[in-house]
Amino acid sequence: MAIVLETLFKILFMFLLIMGMVPALIWAERKGAAFIQDRTGPNRASIAGIRLAGLVHPIADVLKLVFKEDVNPADRHHALYNLAPWLVMTVAMSTYAVIPFGDWLTVGGQRIPLVVADLNVGLLYVLAVASLGTYGVVMAGWAANNKFTFLGGIRSTAQMISYELSMGLALMGLVLVFASLRITDIVAGQGELLFGFLPKWGVVVQPVGFLLFIVAVFAETNRNPFDLPEGESEIVAGYHLEYSSLKFALFFMAEYCHMVVGAALIAAFYFGGYQIPWLPRPVLEANAGLLLTIKLAALVLFSAFIAVLFLRRVQRERGKFGDARDREPVLGMVFWAGLAALAAGGLLLRPWAVGPVGADLVATVFQVLAFVAKVVFFAWLFIWVRWTLPRFRYDQLMNLGWKVMLPLGVANLAVTAVVLALV
């Protein structure tokens, strides 16, 4: 019974992490895109006149999509048309089952591993689920009975077949190095040091594999340089053209879920997952008090600094707009000052003197935070790349997949095997 309960809690944590990141990523995408292109981006949706730099927009989007009419093409294939969005979403979410987000959490003297399902073939599970991901897209494209959606589905299959191979080959190099298909083993192996000073991260031992993997992940998530299945300029919106209302919302959310999955995979396979470089678990636990103190102090200083920046804005922009927006800098100042006060309050609790139980908890929290930070960075990388690179042409896509990435993957695997046999 206990194991069912803890698994449910772990699933809940992962679910909340993803579902919390999706609106944040949508905001980051729109605002980041705007700032990269020298625009201000969305800032109109407001609650009682407070706009919060567009943070209200995701709520407005959701409300709009929920209350919109669900328009369907008349000649659709009913069952597959309705199944497709759910399939896309389910597949996007199920990869998380095997990604560890921390070492362990000690509850009542028992160590609970922080991964939902510790499969001994976890890495293959990732590949298997990724390969199922294309079905939702294909079904959507075919069942809507529209030439544009159909072309989007066809493109998606062709792209999937081409890049799945390179993804698998890139990961096989990693499997050779860490000698396991279990993702927890791979992440644990990345906590070691190479030559005594370099963290043995996947990106250090497998740089070519990392490049291949990140390109393949971009292709699998259908994100920008590889978003041919929805190429607006050629096939309108591709596979989800005929969807509206909540069904479209599912496709939209699935795209961001895929991004978070991709980011989590890159972090887990090539950037040490929850490992903090040079701070393995025993060191973390031994110095938990010191680290917590430093962390809280840094938080105090940082929040205070941001609060001061907001204070300056409050003084400079007094009565600039003449409506509720004048109160926004005040809100920001109060928020950051409150955070600083909270952290300072934490310092008063003498964090440098935590006991062994507390040290364990602190170490776990630090590792989970490290994992989340890495995921956030790589999720941002997806957005950043989208607003930097143009889309590939179809022949370029196929050339890159078959003539560059596949041979490189095979070569990388062979070189890795030879080097490992010699060492």
CA distance 82 to 71: 12
Q: Which stretch binds another protein (CB under 8 A): 144-152, 243-251, 292-300, 369-377?
A: 144-152
Compose the 68-87 pattern: x for residues touching another protein by CB under 8 A, - for all others.
-------xxx-xx-------
Sort strands 110-113 and 104-107 into parallel, antiparallel or unpaired: antiparallel
- The b-or-e profile of 173-204 (16+ CB within 10 A means b, else e) is bbbbbbebbbbbbbbbbbbeeeeeeebbbbbb
Size of the site for another protein (CB under 8 A): 49
Find the distance separating the first CA and the last CA of the chain, reported in whole Å.
46
Q: How far is the CB of 36 from another protein (least distance, A)?
A: 5
Of residues 127 and 311, the one with the C-beta less far from another protein: 127
Residues 247-306 that bind another protein (CB under 8 A): none
Of residues 69 and 75, the one with the C-beta less far from another protein: 75
The backbone torsions φ and ψ at residue 276, rounded to the nearest 5 degrees and listed phi first, read -100, 125
Residues 307-326 that bind another protein (CB under 8 A): 321
For residue 173, state whether it binds another protein (rule: CB under 8 A).
Answer: no
**Which of 17, 45, 158, 246 contacts another protein by CB under 8 A?**
158
The token duo for 251 is: 């496709």
Q: How far is the CB of 66 from another protein (least distance, A)?
A: 28
**Which of 15, 16, 35, 338 contacts another protein by CB under 8 A?**
35
The token duo for 153 is: 């589905």
Q: How far is the CB of 388 from another protein (least distance, A)?
A: 5
Residues 184-223 that bind another protein (CB under 8 A): 211
Q: How far is the CB of 379 from another protein (least distance, A)?
A: 15
Q: Which stretch binds another protein (CB under 8 A): 35-43, 54-62, 281-289, 299-307?
A: 35-43
For residue 101, state whether it binds another protein (rule: CB under 8 A).
Answer: no
Kindly give, in sequence order, each residue whose CB lies less than 8 Å from that of residue 121, ignoring residues fewer than 6 positions away. 181, 182
Kindly give, in sequence order, each residue whose CB lies less than 8 Å from that of residue 7, ignoring residues fewer than 6 positions away. 116
Residues 387-406 that bind another protein (CB under 8 A): 387-389, 395
**Which of 96, 101, 135, 270 contacts another protein by CB under 8 A?**
135
Query: Which contiguous run of DSSP H or E holds residue 365?
Result: helix 356-386
Decide if 53 contacts 43 (C-beta within 8 A): yes
For residue 17, state whether it binds another protein (rule: CB under 8 A).
Answer: no
Closest CA to 269 of 210, 344, 351: 210
**Which of 88, 138, 171, 288 contacts another protein by CB under 8 A?**
138
Q: How far is C-alpha 74 from the geometric centre of its chain's CA atoms?
A: 36
The amino acid present at 234, given as its one-letter code, is E
Q: How far is the CB of 118 from another protein (least distance, A)?
A: 11
Kindly give, in sequence order, each residue whose CB lies less than 8 Å from that of residue 238, ignoring residues fewer than 6 positions away. 141, 148, 149, 151, 152, 155, 228, 229, 230, 231, 232
Q: How far is the CB of 149 from another protein (least distance, A)?
A: 8
The backbone torsions φ and ψ at residue 104, rounded to the nearest 5 degrees and listed phi first, read -155, 165
Binding positions for another protein, rule: CB under 8 A: 32, 35-40, 75-77, 79-80, 119-121, 124-125, 127-132, 134-135, 138-139, 142-143, 145-147, 150, 153-154, 157-158, 160-161, 164, 181, 211, 321, 384-385, 387-389, 395
